[in-house]
Structure 1
Amino acid sequence: MKSFIFVATFLSLLVSSCNKEAANFPTRKTDESARRKNVHSKRRSPGSNHVHDLKEITNVSALINRLVSADKRWRPKVITIADGSKRYTYQKRLHEGTLTLEELKQRIKNPSKFQAEKTAIAQLIKKLRSLGIPIFIGETHSVQAVGTWNPSSNRIILRQVLVDNGTLDFHEALSHEAIHVAQSCASGSINNKPRPLGLPLKYSVSIDEKVAHPLYAINFKDNLQIEREAYSHSREPGKARKLLDHYCN
C-alpha cells in the first residue's frame, strides 16, 4: 500500500519586541537564542528509531495545563528602568502587527485564556480517539514538519515544540491534521489519501507562505488544494470537529 503523509509546516516565529512608555512603537529584534536553537534543530536528523520516542496523549488535562503554562511566554512584561521609565517587552508572532502601548497594557491587564481553543483541543482529541486515531507527541518524518497525518498508519504526530509554543499553535496544528482526517474520510475511507472537501479557500501572506513550502512539492498534484483548505480553516475553534462529525461517521 502506498503511503501518504500530510504535514503542517507552520510555526509562529518568536520575535522579541519592546515598547518604552514614552513611545508607542516597539523596537523589534530577533530572538537570537530561539533562532540558533531552530537552526540547530533543522540540522539534526530525527534518526531511524524516532518512532520509539513517540508519546501518546492520554491525559488531556495534563496537556491543557502544559499549554496554559506555555501561554505565559506570550504575555507582555513591564521592565522599570533606572530613570523610572517603563519598557514593555513581548514575544511577537509571525505576521502579527505591531502592538500599541495601550494594546500591550490591555494584554497585561486581561491576558487571553484561549478558552475556545482549549475546549476545541479536548473535543478533537476525544473525537479522534473514537475514530481509532491516537495523537502522539514526538519526532515527525521531517524536522520541518510540525505535524503529520499518516492514513496508512492511522495516527497523528505533533512535535513537542507545539506544546512549548502554547495553545494557539497546538490548536492550529491539531485542527490542521484533523481536517486532513476528514479529507481522508471524504475520499471513501479513513485510510485513504485525502481529497479536497470543497470548502472556501483563503488567501493570505501567511497561508501562501505555508503552501509554498518545499515539503508539499513532493506529494501528489492535489496536495496544494488539500493543504490550503486545511490551513484556511485550522484556526477556527470547533471547525475540524464538525468536519469529522460530518465526514467520518
Structure 2
Amino acid sequence: MANLNGKKALVTGGNSGIGYAAAIELKAQGADVIITGRREEAVNKAVEELGVTGMIADQGSVADIEKLAAQVADKFGKLDILFINAGVLGGAGIEGATEADFDYVMDVNFKGAFFTLSRFIPILNDGASVVFLSSNVASMNAANASIYSSSKAALNAIMKIAAVELAPRKIRVNSVSPGPTQTEILNKLGLDDASRKGLDDYMISRIPLRKIGTAEDVAKLVSFFSGESATFITGAEIVIDGGMSL
C-alpha cells in the first residue's frame, strides 16, 4: 500500500545502511525521497540505484546543515518527513578518552542531529513527522561506550522536548532505537572473517530472539511513524533489538 503518496521525505545519511533501507521503504510507500551524505561518490551511486534525489552535506557541520536546508527549501518547498539518521560509531574508556574521541561522535550524533532538526523546522509542513535514529545503548551501560551511549541518550532527550515544542503545529517527533543491525558500518570495524563471526555470535547470544536485526526492520518502523497509523504518537522511543535490552 502506498501510504505516503504525495509526501516529501528527507533521509540524512541515506546512501547506506539503515538510511538506504529507509529511502527504499519510504519510496515504496509513495513518498518523494531526498537522501544526503558526506561522500559525493557514495551519494551519487545510491541515487542511481534508488531513483531518488541526492544532496551532499556533512551532518557534523552546522554550515552544511544550513546550506542543505536552504537548498531543500528552494528546490522542493516544504517537507512532510524528516528522518535524522546520519551517525557515527566511536568512543573510548572514560579515563583514556581524548577530546578528539568525544568531538568525533558528538559533532555528528548530537550537535549535528540537533541542528538538523533546528534548521529544518521552518520548512516542515504542519502535521509532519520527524524520526531520530537513536540506539538501544541509550539506556544500557557498557564499558567503553560512554560517549556513543551519551550521544544517543541526548538524542532521546531532544526528541521528547521537540515533541512538546512542535505539538502546536501537529508535528510528531519520535525515535527508533535499534540494537545490533546488519549494516555496512559493522564491516568497517576492520575485523577478519573469524573475528566478525565471533562478534556476531556474541551479539546473538545476548538477544533473546537469537538473531541480528536488519536495516529493513528499522526502515519499516520509520515508515510507520511517518504514516497515518501513527498520527497520535509523539515523544515515543521504540526499541527494536530483539529483546536485547531486557
Same structural fold, with TM-score higher than 0.5 when normalized by the shorter chain: no
User: Of the two structures, which has the highest relative contact order with CA contacts closer than 8 Å and spacing of 6 or more?
Assistant: 1
Q: Give the number of the structure whose residues are more often helix, by fraction.
A: 2
- TM normalised by structure 2 equals 0.23
Structure of higher CA gyration radius: 1
